[in-house]
Structure formats: structure tokens, C-alpha cells
Structure 1
Amino acid sequence: MSVTVEDLLKLPSLGGARVAAGKSGLKKVVTSISVLEYANPQMLNDDLFPGDFYGGEIAITGFINAREDVPLQLATIRRLYEGGEVGLILYYVGIFLKDIAPEVAALADELGFVLICMPKNRMDLRYSEVITEVMHAIISEQKRDTYLVGEMLERFGYLPESQRTVESVVRMLSDRLRCSLFLVDSRFRPVNLAVWPQAGESSMEELEQFYGGEAPGASKEMERLPSGRWVFCAPVKDADNAGLTLFLVREDKKLHAQLCLQAAEAVRLFIGVWSRGYGNVGTGELLKAILNDEPVKMRRLAEIFRIDVKSIHHMLLLLPRKKKEERNLERKVRHASTFLEQYYDICIAGIHQGKGVVFTGQERTRMEQEQILEAFYEEGDKEMRLISCPGLENTAQVRSAFLLCTEYAEEAGCIFPCRHILTGSELEFAGVCRQILDAGEKAILEKTACLKGLEEQDEELYKTLETFLLDADSNIARTADLLYVHKNTIKYRVGKLHEFFRFRIQKMPEAGRLYDAAAVLRLLRDSSLSKRTKESGEV
């Protein structure tokens, strides 16, 4: 048995606490605890999460720096959840943070992210009491429960899909066993590694010298390295991967051989369930390494294929519009790769999490990127929605863009239904609109107040404004085509809109406010998305 969030609530230090939201996550396993209070809230969101978290951690916070910033609280919870965190223990509610906002509770319920509220209006509560008891409970249980495979598989199952990577598995095992892990191929090239403690030094070079650059083909008992470290190695093989070896290196003392073998088995099972064929050489694996943010594996594969991943500046995603088109996705991705190779220096293509992905580098033509994609779409891929993410400077931005697509593609399709090629910027905009809906009725009313009178008084005029701004790029002829009316009719309606608002509706920054409000209202009207909002009690 592992320690769960539910178990922690039985500790004396949490005796007066209550679960404020996220009760569906009470069965999640807790492996550690930390304190999250930062002087710079923006750094908290942009630089820390989710990279340093690999599942199972619960955090203590007072939301002191974000006590009056509900959108930042929502963004922080999303980042923590993306990193595999199981919940937050909130201190000093009623003092710094006046109360838990309804939209924060609704998001936690939606994600199964547990919010534990310590007794309100208590300034005498200390973080250290909870930290001490939680860590004692975790360490005591780890000593009793030595069935590592079951614990790891349970934790893997609770991770968000974007975190179900071998990189995460290796880091979680490293933290659990308090040792460094090195996963290498048959030629001793590193596939994944996790150094423990993170401030320590990698012993990869020492391992390679000790074993003569060739990974052993069978498990070996723990051996002493010249540096005094202890090392254990075990093969990680199944029917699909190319044959990997896992090394476990401990600084101070031997690890029990059974735990080492279980660690290797946990990696093997993870690869078999969620990452079949891991370790096989193929450009598809390079694509996955980039999107999963696995730097060691990415560098190794890039070297094998002689591909400069730094030259990747554009990502094209192919999303099936209909369920039946998913079976054609592999063929569509191959076609996209063949087509785009005519115009770009490098082209890596594959399928990841049910989405077609194509990476391209420098253009070899004077044609603009938009023209190339329009030509590709017109050639026959109208069954797919395309998402174009240009201007990517590094693989971190590539992964961020992919996660943005995973999170907000549905919302972007709702706001821009007439656009068959969406951009990364439009996904970001859709994400902002979604967050306004998540923030609740007050935020929605504030954002859409500028259109309230028009929407209620003249539905036809409002429809013209919405189409003009969101679908036609403020083009009168295009608006007329979309609404199936003469362009003189649109000119007349646009004039009426000028009179209503007392400014030209193309004039910035005024037009920007109208554009944002129209997008939020369109998103709110979508039946599936608004239903999700209403069920969470936000509107």
C-alpha cells in the first residue's frame, strides 16, 4: 500500500483541515511534499512548471503573491496538474487569501486536483508540522512496502497524458530510490538519465569507462566504482524495443537487489504499455523525444540522423475533423511530409497522442508559409484541420505549442469555425477566452459588457459584427459571402454599427475590445463547451 491524499488527512497536523475541492483525487499516491511561495509569480508559471515535477508531490502554499489574482491561481493549478502534482494544502485562508474562489474550486474539481484548506483565520499554524508528519508517513510506508512495480504503475496512471513519458518514469524512480538512473542503449548511448540529488554530478562517464563502453547483457550484482559509488545494472527488454540497460547508481550505500530489479521491470512495463518500441532507431522516436521534452534521447537521435534540431522553426499539426478520419491519419502525415519536403530543408513527421505532427526548418522557396499551407490544404487534405506554429526558437517552445494545441484546439475551432488553418497565436487567444469562462460570471460580464446592448437589441446586426470581426478579417466582401447577402447590405449594416458604438468598428484599440467580447460570447454559446462551464458551477 502507498500513502494517499486520503491517508494524509488522518494525520494529527491535518486533523482540522477540510477538503475544499478535488475530492476525486483523494486516492492519488503522495510521494513527497514541498513549499511553493515565490516572490515572482510570473517565474512560478513560466520557468518552474511543469519541468521540475514528476508526479505524486503535494504542495503547501498560502497563495500570498497571488492572493487577489484569481487567473494566476487558476494558471498555477493547471501548471501543477500538468506536472503530475496531486494537490495543494492552503494555509492562512481568511488572512492573506480571503477565501477560495468558486472558479478555483471548480477547476480543482474538474481536474481531480485536491485542495485541502487548513483551519481559517489561524496565523499560528506552521508548515513544518505538516511537512514533518507527511514525510514520516511516506518514508515509513516505503520501508514497509517494497513492491515498487505496483506503486509506480499506480502513479503512472494518475499522470496527465502529456507527462506519461519515460523521462518522467526515470525521474520518479530516481526520487523514490534516492539514486541516479541511467537508461542506455547497446552502444552505451544515453537514452534517459536522472541524477540524484539534482544538484549532484552525473557519473555517466565513469560508468562508460568501468564497463568498457558496452552495456552488460544480463543483470549484475551491485559493484563498487572507483569513485566509491555503488552501481547495479539490469537489462530492459521486450518484444518491441531495441534492448536497453538500466543502471542505478547510489552515492553512499548499496541498494537492495530486489528493488533494482523492480525498477528495471517498472521501466519495461511502462515502455510496453505507453511507449512501445522505445529505443528503436527511427525519426518518429526523435519526434516523440522533442514533444516529450526528453533532451538526452533527443540529442542522441539527432546525432544519429544528423539532424540539427535547433533548425526546426515550424510545427504543423494535423487534426482529424471526424472520428472516422483517424484511421487515415498515418497516410495523411506521410503525404504532408512528402509535400512539404519540396519547400523546406528538413522534415520530420509522425503521430503523437492522436495528432499528426510535421516539423520543418528553413524554407527553400520564396513562397510565403501561408501560401504553401493553403496549397497543401487545397490539394486534398480538407478532412483535416491544420494548426500552424511558426517562429519556434527551441524545443521547449515546440513542446509548449503542442500542449497548447492539446489544451485549446477545440476552443479555437469554436471561435474560428471558418478557418481551416489555425495558428499558434489563435490557440493562445482561445486559451485566454477559455480562462475568462473559467474565471466565472463576473469576468464574463466584464469582458462582454461592450456588446450587451447590441446583442439584445438587434440579433441580425450582432451576427454581422461577429462575422465581420471573427470570420472575415474585417472584409466587407468576405462578410457578405459568409452571410449570403449583397455587399451593399453589409456596408449599410457596418454603417449602423458605427452609429451604435459611436466609433468605426475597425478602429484600434476599440475594435480589439469588440473582437475579444465577440470571441468569448461565441465560445460561451457552443453547447459542449458552455455545458462544461455550467456543470462546474461557473455561470
Structure 2
Amino acid sequence: MSITIAEILRLPSMHDAKVVAGGQALERRVSTISVSEYTWNTQFKDMYFDYADSEIVISAFYAAKDSVEKQLNNIEVYHSNRVAGLILFYVGVILPYLDERVVSLAERLNFPIIMMPEGRPDLRYSEVIYEVVEAIIKSHRHYKDLTNDIIEQVSCFPASQRSLGFAMRILSNNTFSTIVLADMSGEPYHVSVWPRNVNAEGYLRDGKVIIEGELNPIMGESCRVYVYPIRSAKGLPLQAVIYKRGEVFDADAVRQIGETIQTAINLWGRNVGESPLSELVGAILRDEPYKIKRLSSLFRVDVSDIRDMWILQAGQPDKTDQLLGLLPRLLQDELPRARGGFIYDAFEESGVVMFHAVRARDGLPEAARALLESLRGHGADALLTDCRNLGGLERIRRAYTLNERALRTAKKIFPLKPLFTLFELRFADECIKRIEAGDDSARQAMEMLEAIPGDGGISYGDMLKTLFAYYLDADRSAAAAAELLFVHKNTIQYRIKKFHELIADDLGGMLEVNELLMALAIGRILESDRKSRS
């Protein structure tokens, strides 16, 4: 049904290719291959590219060859879209070199990058594409253990990307069939079409699946139809309707497809067969388009109105169950002041709140602070990320992914903060990239701190503590920093004045302040990591 990245590496066309990142994910399965030569920071920045699930991508980074930032962004987009890995061509020909920051990011995301031999303009995409497609087709000839194969493919991806809809899309790709999961009246819950250029609505009539005997005319073409009985997690009767062009499925193939869907429901489809509005949260974050359309229509929610989102996590991992248990009631108490609609659900280890048609968006920060205070009153310290002005489902998903990646680092930089913004998370993420780029990059970022003198009656340690408190904790308020360090306000002012005189006469410029903030943040991250190891 598919092949692994490790098997691709053994193909003759991949001779002398080397894995430069994501070596722990080589058993990830691949069901298709494509070429990608665009970047999301230029003309495509507002578009969303829906890759096939378990797809491996070939690229030379042509559109991003002159910008490491664009290359990093491409890796993040590939990862968030469940791309299995990247085969990178023409390093030393089109792409001058593969930057270590790109390798570090891919390694952190456990995203495989396979680099073809450097300096070889004679290599051809077509040779790799031919051999990979041939190997995938050979794997399709027999359905030996379809259920384990599909579940294994889904399980190779991060928990936030595992879902019933994801499993069904991989299943559809692997069997070259369109699959609809519906209730017994024909009302669809999930639709996964193959090929992708076919509209899902073509398999429906008046919103219900088309089942008119063994052969059905679908969009002018005859399709064989197979129906397999399914049960929801709560025992409600459902049906898997399978549409197949050309090849005929035998009874065993239909059984394996049905059992695969049943297993995926048991693992990732807890509310299939029901229609709670809260399910819209997971549908958006997991990118389940048909489910989004069905739920938003059913509850009359315009998902384009969702511009703000809160993500809440327990301050301590062992308090997650307590937090998720408190949130539904406390949200009802605190959010009426926002004067608009909200949707809440627990997603993985987080509580996620999405706001739609909010008439008083300026009231959301106040409501967030009130919610955190209420949680503290119930003995549940929480971290809340306030994601504002998102404007689009893809941006919502990217914000959630960024939060998963950078929140704990942001907490190391700002240990006193319970309420974070996307700006702070992006700053923390940039610090991570600088550290992962190697010792030289981190040392260069911290040069300003290393130059702090130990004379003038102020120790290096005292000066560093003062800078941490003044710039990172107290928002450059001498009075607040003095309170945190238990010293007089004049002491803080003297130390900051001394630092300006000895290190930089003027830290009023944006670039100078940003450089100092980066140095302080990296210093705090490294200090926190050292303490956790000791």
C-alpha cells in the first residue's frame, strides 16, 4: 500500500543520497510523490497548499535559494501539512549550500531531509519519481494487512495531526477510491475523494450519499459501490460507502477498508455519529474540511469570522486533568463580557477556545486575565496564549503549532508571565533557532552580555540579574524591577545607567534593544536548561 523512506533510500536512483535530518523517522510511510518549487513568503503567502497525506516532496528550493528564512518557512509548512519528508536536489548547483539552521529545524521537527549528491547538475527528478512511483504501485497490488499499514502511517505523525479524517485520506490514496463515512440515512460525516480534482459534492444528492445498487453513475462515469457496516465509539450504526472506478474490489479488500475505518474511529473518532459544536475545534486544528463544512452549516457558524483563539495549558503537566475539568464552567462565567460566540474543546493536552462574531474584541485581554485569576483561585495555575487577528483557518493551525513548539521556551524567557502573545512565541521560536544553529550562533547573539565588566562596584551576576528583571520581567520599569530584586529603585536606575555607559551609550534604538533582548532571552534559556540538567 505504501513504502517507507528507508526503502526509498535503497532505490538505485538514490545512490549516494544522504540523510541530513530526521533520521529517526525513516520508517515513515510514503504513498505518493510530488515536486514543490514555490515558497510561502512571496506570492503564495496567503494561499494554502493541501499536500496529499504521506507525500514525499522533491525540491531544489529554487524559489527560496537566496533566503534561509524562506527555506525555514517551507520546512515548517511541509511539516504542518503532514509531508513525510523532503528529497533535496542540486545543492551546490541551484542552492549554494544547505544552511545548518534548516537542518536544525528539521531535526527538531523530526522531519526527514534527504540530500542528493552535491554539485551534480546531471541528476534528474524524473529518475527518482519513476522509481518511487513504481515501488508504490507494486505495493498496491495486494492488500495484505491494510489496517496495520494505515494506522502505522498515521501514528508516525505528531499527535495533533492524527485523526479519523487523516486516516481516511491516506486510506483513499492507498486504495484509489473515494470513501464516505455516513449515518444510516446517508448523512455524511467524512468524505475523502480520489482523485483530488473531483468535487466531494459529486458523490452526494440533496446532501446524502448516492447508493443506487452495485453500479452508480457518478459525474457521468460508472462507479462500483461497496457498503460496509461501521459502529461509532458509542455503538451508533454508521456505514462506510466506497466508490471505485475500474478495478473491482474483492470481499476481503472491502472488509479491510471497513476494518481500517472502524479502528481509526476507535482510536481518533470519539464523537463520530454525534454533532457537538465543540467538535469544530478539533476539525479545524486537524484540517478536516468536510467536517468543518458540515458542523459550521449545522450550527450556523461562519468559520471565516474566527479571528481570535486562546490556548490554555496547565502550568504543571500533572495538573492537566484538573485544568480541563475546570475550564468549561469557568469559561461560561468569564466570557459573557466578550459579547460574542465562542467554541471550546479539549484538544490533546490543551484547552482551546475559538471566538466568532465577537462584538467587543477589546474585552478579550481583560477576560483572559480574569479567567487566569479564577483558575488560580481554584488551585490551577495555567498558561494562556492569546492569539489575535488570525484571519483564516490555516493561520489558526499555524498558531496552534507554534504554541506547541515554543510555549515552554517562552516560559523560560518570561518565567513570571502566565499570559503570552504570538509575538512572544515567535520571539522564543527565533531564540530556539539561534541556539540550535550551533555554539557560534548563540555566542554571537550573547556577545553584548559577555562584554559586561566586573568592575565599578557591580558584579557580573548582579548586573545580569538586573538586566533580566528590568528588560524581561518588569517591562523596563525600574520600580517593578526593584520590587522583584528586593533593592531600591535608585539601585536599578544606577545599574542600568552604568550598563548604558559601559556597553552602549544609546539603547534607545530598536535594533540595539532587540539585540539585547535576544541576548538576555538566550541567556535565560541556557541557564534554565543547565539547572534542569543539574
Same fold flag (TM > 0.5)? yes
CA contact (8 A) 2:40 2:73 kept: no
How far off is 1:337 after superposition? 1.7
From 178, 185, 188, the equivalent of 2:186 is 188
Q: Do the aligned partners of 1:346 and 1:360 also contact (CA within 8 Å) in 2? A: yes
Whether 1:318 and 2:312 are equivalent positions in the alignment is: yes
Letter of the structure 2 residue corresponding to residue 267 of structure 1: I
The reply on whether 1:233 has 2:233 as its aligned counterpart is no
Q: Provide the rounded CA distance (Å) in 2 between the counterparts of 1:14 and 1:478.
A: 60
Contact 1:77–1:108 (CA under 8 A) maintained in structure 2: yes
CA drift at 1:164: 0.8
CA distance in 1, matches of 2:301, 2:20: 50
Matches of 1:31 and 1:109, distance apart in 2: 22
Specify whether residues 36 and 352 from structure 1 end up closer, same or farther in structure 2 by C-alpha distance, changes over 3 A only: same
Distance 1:175 1:242 in 2: 27
Tell me by how many angstroms 1:74 deviates. Answer: 3.7
Match 1:436 to one of 429, 434, 437: 434
TM-score (norm 2): 0.88
Q: Secondary structure at the match of 2:452?
A: helix
Secondary structure of the structure 1 residue equivalent to 2:3: coil
Partner of residue 24, structure 2: 24
Question: What is the distance in 2 between the residues matched to 1:450 and 1:86?
Answer: 41
CA RMSD of aligned residues (A): 3.0
Residues 233 and 270, structure 2, Cα contact 8 Å, conserved in 1: no
**Are 1:350 and 2:345 an aligned pair?**
yes
Task: Report what 2:34 is aligned to.
Answer: 34
After superposition, where does 1:33-432 map in structure 2 within 5 Å? 33-38=33-38, 42=42, 47-48=47-48, 51-55=50-54, 57-67=55-65, 69-204=67-202, 207-208=204-205, 213=208, 222-225=214-217, 227-230=220-223, 231-240=225-234, 242-344=236-338, 345-361=340-356, 368-381=363-376, 383-432=381-430
Equivalent AA in structure 1 for residue 242 of structure 2:
L
Q: Deviations over 1:156-190 (max 9, x none)?
A: 11122222122322221222122323333344333
Q: Is the 8 A contact 1:146 1:259 kept in 2?
A: no
- In structure 2, distance between residues paired with 1:377 and 1:151: 44
State the percentage of identical aligned residues: 31
Letter in 1 for 2:217: L
Q: Would the alpha carbon gap of residues 159 and 367 (structure 1) be closer, same or farther in structure 2, given more than 3 Å must change?
A: closer
Shift of 1:282: 1.4
Q: How far apart in 1 are the matches of 2:75 and 2:94?
A: 18
Taking the aligned partners of 1:118 and 1:509, their CA distance within structure 2 comes to 39
User: SS state of the match for residue 236, structure 1?
Assistant: strand
| Structure 1: tracts of 5 or more residues without a match | 532-539
* 1:421 alignment partner AA: L
Cα deviations by residue, 1:382-428 (Å, 9 ceiling, x for unpaired): 51122212223233332222222111111111111111111222112
Structure 1, residues 135-156: CA drift from partner, whole Å, max 9, x if none?
Answer: 1111012113443212111111
**Aligned residue type for 1:119:** P
Normalised by the length of structure 1, the TM-score is 0.87
CA–CA distance in structure 2, aligned partners of residues 223 and 145 of structure 1: 23
Cα drift, residue 521 of structure 1: 2.4
| Number of the residue aligned with 2:5 | 5
8 Å contact from structure 1 (residues 185, 215) kept in 2: no
Aligned residue number for residue 523 of structure 2:
521
Alpha-carbon separation, structure 1, partners of 2:163 and 2:314? 24
| Deviation (angstroms), 1:507 | 4.4
Cα shift at 1:213: 4.1
Deviation per residue, 1:278-304 (Å, 9 max, x gap): 232213212222222223212322333
Do the aligned partners of 2:29 and 2:153 also contact (CA within 8 Å) in 1? yes
* Contact 1:236–1:264, Cα closer than 8 Å, also in 2: yes
Partner-residue secondary structure (3-state), 1:422: strand
Change (3 A) 1:307 1:513: same
* Residue 213 to residue 376, structure 1, CA distance change in 2 (3 Å): closer
The answer on whether the counterparts of 1:313 and 1:360 sit within 8 Å (CA) in structure 2 is yes
Deviation string, structure 1 residues 249-292 (Cα, Å, up to 9, x no partner): 23445444433332232122112012322232213212222222
| 5+ residue gaps, structure 2 | none
Paired residues of 1:498 and 1:505 also in contact (CA < 8 A): yes
CA contact (8 A) 2:470 2:481 kept: yes
8 Å Cα contact 2:188/2:209 also seen in 1: no
Contact 1:82 1:162 in 2 (8 A): no
* Partner SS state of residue 200, structure 1: coil
Task: Please state whether the residue corresponding to 1:92 is helix, strand or coil.
Answer: coil
Give the 3-state SS of the residue equivalent to 1:526 in structure 2. helix
Per-residue deviation, 1:98: 4.5
What residue identity is the alignment partner of 2:470?
Answer: F
How far apart, in 1, do the equivalents of 2:51 and 2:324 lie?
33
Q: Equivalent residue for 2:475? A: 473
Q: Secondary structure at the match of 1:73?
A: helix
Aligned-partner Cα distance in 2 for 1:375–1:257 = 58
Letter matched to residue 258 of structure 1 = D
Q: What is the CA distance between 1:41 and its match in structure 2?
A: 6.0
The verdict on how the C-alpha distance between 1:529 and 1:189 changes in structure 2, with shifts beyond 3 A counting, is farther
Change (3 A) 1:48 1:444: farther
